[in-house]
Each structure stands twice: as C-alpha cells, then as structure tokens.
Amino acid sequence: MIDSDHETREDQTMTIATAPATVRTTLRAEGFSCPSCVAKIEKQVGRLDGVAAVKVHFATARIEVDHDPSVATTDDLVAAVAKAGYTARPSAF
C-alpha cells in the first residue's frame, strides 16, 4: 500500500498535438476545357503545404480545397491554379 502523504512524483509534461484548423475554400476556375485539366489542377494545388484535399468539379468549374489557411492562403491556392495554367478566383459557393 502506498502512503499518499509520502508519495513523491516528478512533474511530467505532456504535449498533445492538435489538428490544424482546416477550412474549405471554393474557387471558380476559367480556361479549362477537358477532363485532363482537372488532374493537372488537382496535382498543382495538392502540392501546397497545408492542403489536405482538392476536388475539381469539371462540369461546374468549381475547385474545392480543404486547407489550413495559416499555411496555405486563398492567394496561394489561386497562384497554384495559375501555375497550372488556369485562372481562378474565390467564390462564395
């Protein structure tokens, strides 16, 4: 039996990793005309640090990006689409 009045413990520090705050940003894209363009945009945007997922909707020209805005900003996403050769802008829906 341990006498709790005499028990000695060293202080222990525990670090808990928290999940980054991920948001979904929707962009409207212009200039792509074939399904292979979808893969090109998804690959380029997906390379950015802080991007968790990218989905390009060909029929509606929407790009949905799940990302940590403290690492990959909306401007970074737009620039990545431009680097793939297309124009994009933020959209409310």
Convert the pLDDT of each residue in 7-26 to its tens digit: 444 544 444 555 568 999 99
Tokens linked to 56? 């390009």
pLDDT at res. 14 = 47
Q: What is the CATH number of domain 23-91?
A: 3.30.70.100
Domain map of the chain by residue range?
23-91
Residue 4: DSSP 8-state: T
Residues 5-42 as b/e (b if ≥16 CB within 10 A, e otherwise) read: eeeeeeeeeeeeeeeeeeeebebebeebeeeebbebbb
| pLDDT at residue number 33 | 84
**Residue ranges of the chain with per-residue pLDDT less than 70:** 1-20, 93
Q: What is the pTM of this model?
A: 0.76
